[in-house]
Amino acid sequence: MKNPLFIKVHETINNRLERGEYKPGEKLPSIRSLATELNVHRLTVFKAYQLLKENGKVEVKDKSGYYAKGESSILTDLDYPIVTSYIHKSHLSEIHRVHVEFQFSQAVIDPDLLPNQYTSSSAKKVLDLYPKVLSTYSTVQGDRELRESLANYFYEKQKQYITADDVLITTGSQQAIDLIARTFVRNGDHVLIERPTYSPAIDMFRELGARLLPVNITPDGYDMEQLEQFMKEKKPVLFYLNPTFQNPTGYTVPDNQRKQLANLAEKYRVFILEDDPFRDIYFEKKPPLPLFTYDVHGYCLYVRSFSKYIAPGLRISAILCRQPLMEQLLASKSLADNGTPLLNQKMFLHYYASERLQKHIEKLRIALELRKAAMESALEGEDFYWETPDGGLNLWVQIPDSIRMEELLAACLEQSLSFVPGTICDPLKEKENWIRLSYSYLNEKKIVKGIQLFKDILSSLK
């Protein structure tokens, strides 16, 4: 922690180099202009450039300035030691920061598919119903009325025998996963993670210094022998999984594996972090019950997000788990933000408990299935491979081997089209010729136009 400022400036420039903002051979900003931009002393920038030079990232040419060196890359090595958060980069959020016309990278639902007028008027009713809701804090665990309502919901829909005490309300599922990770994972712990997986989870566990054990997910689920082997030998503390319409693949882990996993978790004392954001977005038939339903020993922490398809602006998710774990999570939640805003919880409660919600979800399923179909037919006729998902928001598509992914991503972003490169979703940073395309944000017409553009860009790179 010596010299924090120049190390931070160093990281800022290094991030830009890795993002490809400065191409190899390109001249970097002068020390003076960078000092002005970053609001630091020129000496600080000088030191940062010196460090970049030592690390072979930049070179000095004839005293005319600093130039970017080597290849640009958004990838890091799996085994790169996580020593400080300065080297942490949430890759996915960096792609999302680019505004594009053809947005296939974010698995979010088109606001036009959501019943905005109805949610607004429902929200207004909440303001009348609880006149002091804007002046009142929530408890750390969350509004009891909402937790009781959710406990009923989970009992009815998913055969989960829980009470309001087993429910913790969080500000979105990202927070839920983060809370669980920071509560139960320590530096050096082994963590099982699907391959590929939700990319911010990789960043998060790495940030905590975890050692990741990748478990392949296929259309048939996991290799259960490999999984048990890992549990036996490496004694992982936790398995992070998203077994239903998995992100990014769309695959669903079969029922029998869920039961097996619940038993393995108990046998090897491994916590199960079951992330379940897409359960309600099924197309033909309902998915298997959550793994949590089969967990009788209290090893499973179930994260359920609703707000993605109900009211993303509210950011309401829930963690379900048994008592001894809940106590620990409450301590973390108390430090993290002292409780999710009460307003959002009450608004969610009243909207989600309404009849209108069920109708909305039914319509939404149809709309999303149509968009998926539009994307699938637009993709046809090329050398692509994918499995049709039974639910969720994404296609996981294999593209020809010959394409260099970084080049493709750069070309697409330049032409205002975004996708998620498979490497980002892979704890091993391989999966070079896979990409995730979300069909939830654009309407059919735009999807068709965008996929055509994508094909054109791809052809131009062959």
Which residues in 334-353 contact its own copies (CB under 8 A)?
334-338, 340-344, 347
Compute the least distance from the CB of residue 215 to its own copies, in Å: 19
Q: Is 311 in the site for its own copies (CB under 8 A)?
A: yes
Angle, vertex CA 53, rays to CA 50 and CA 57, nearest 5? 135
Q: Is 15 in the site for its own copies (CB under 8 A)?
A: yes
Q: Is 84 in the site for its own copies (CB under 8 A)?
A: yes
Which residues in 43-72 contact its own copies (CB under 8 A)?
none
CB nearer to its own copies: give 139 or 416: 139
Q: Is 332 in the site for its own copies (CB under 8 A)?
A: yes
Cis peptide before 196 (omega within 30 of 0): yes
Which residues in 109-128 contact its own copies (CB under 8 A)?
109, 111, 114, 116-117, 119-120, 123-124, 127-128
Considering only the stretches 72-80, 130-138, 362-370, 391-399, report the one whose residues sit in contact with its own copies under the rule CB under 8 A.
Answer: 130-138
**Can you name the residues that pair with 271 across neighbouring β-strands?**
238
Single out the residue of 145, 148, 189, 223 in contact with its own copies (rule: CB under 8 A).
189
Compute the least distance from the CB of residue 151 to its own copies, in Å: 14
Of 292, 295, 294, 313, nearest to 303 (Cα)?
A: 292
φ, ψ (nearest 5 deg) of residue 213 = -115, 105
CB nearer to its own copies: give 179 or 417: 179
CB nearer to its own copies: give 189 or 382: 189
Q: Is 11 in the site for its own copies (CB under 8 A)?
A: yes
Q: Is 314 in the site for its own copies (CB under 8 A)?
A: yes
Of 318, 367, 81, nearest to 180 (Cα)?
A: 318
Listed in order, strand segments (DSSP E) in 101-253 are 102-103, 167-170, 190-195, 211-216, 238-241
DSSP string, 255-299: HHHHHHHHHHHHHHT-EEEEE-S-TT-BSSSPPPPPGGGG--SS-
Of 330, 282, 321, nearest to 303 (Cα)?
A: 321
Q: Is 18 in the site for its own copies (CB under 8 A)?
A: no
Q: Is 402 in the site for its own copies (CB under 8 A)?
A: no
Single out the residue of 47, 234, 322, 365 in contact with its own copies (rule: CB under 8 A).
322
Which residues in 90-109 contact its own copies (CB under 8 A)?
90, 93, 97, 108-109
Q: CA-to-CA distance for 82 and 99, rounded, in angstroms?
A: 30
Give residue 456's Cα distance to chain centre.
29
Single out the residue of 175, 197, 242, 433 in contact with its own copies (rule: CB under 8 A).
175
Single out the residue of 61, 157, 159, 269 in contact with its own copies (rule: CB under 8 A).
269
- Helix, strand, coil shares of the chain as percentages rounded to 5? 50, 15, 40
